[in-house]
Amino acid sequence: MHHVRTNILITNFSNKNSNPEITRISNQVYNIHRCLFLNKKSNTVSLRVDVAKGRDVNRKIARISPEAMEQLNVTSGDYVEVSSQKNSIILQVLRGYPEDAGKGIIRLDGITRKILGVSVGDFVEVSRAEVEPAKKITLAVLPMETMLGFQFNPLTRGYLDPEYVKQELLHKPLSRGETVAVNIGIGNIIELLVYNTEPSGRVYVDENTIIELIPADHKMIERIARL
Does the predicted model carry a pTM greater than 0.75?
no
Backbone angles phi, psi at 201, to 5 degrees: 100, -150
Structure confidence by residue, pLDDT tens digits, 14-51: 444 556 665 555 544 433 333 333 334 568 999 999 99
Strands 79-83 and 88-95: antiparallel
User: Given a cut of 80, is residue 153 above it in pLDDT?
Assistant: no
Write down which residue in 107, 128, 149 finishes a domain.
128
Which of 128, 146, 171 delimits the end of a domain?
128
The yes-or-no verdict on residue 156 having pLDDT over 70 is no
* Residue 23 domain flag: no
Within 10 angstroms of residue 107's Cβ, the number of other Cβ atoms is 21
Query: What range does the domain containing 197 cover?
Result: 132-225
Residue 82, class by beta-carbon neighbours within 10 Å (0-12 exposed, 13-18 middle, 19+ buried)? Answer: buried
State the alpha helices, DSSP H only, in 4-153.
Answer: 20-38, 66-72, 110-116
Do residues 92 and 60 make contact, with C-beta atoms less than 8 angstroms apart?
A: yes
CA distances from 138 to 62, 88, 154, 169 (A): 24, 21, 16, 13
Q: Mean pLDDT across the stretch 168-187?
A: 87
> At 172, which CATH number?
3.10.330.10
Average pLDDT for 74-88: 96
Does residue 202 lie within any of the structural domains?
A: yes
Is 197 among the domain residues?
A: yes
- Is 153 part of a structural domain of the chain? yes
Is residue 33 helix, strand or coil?
Answer: helix
The C-alpha R_g of the chain, in whole angstroms, comes to 25
Pair (147, 104) in one structural domain: no
- Residue 83 and residue 127 in contact, taking contact as beta carbons nearer than 8 Å: yes
Number of structural domains the chain divides into: 2
My answer on whether 163 and 206 are in the same domain is: yes
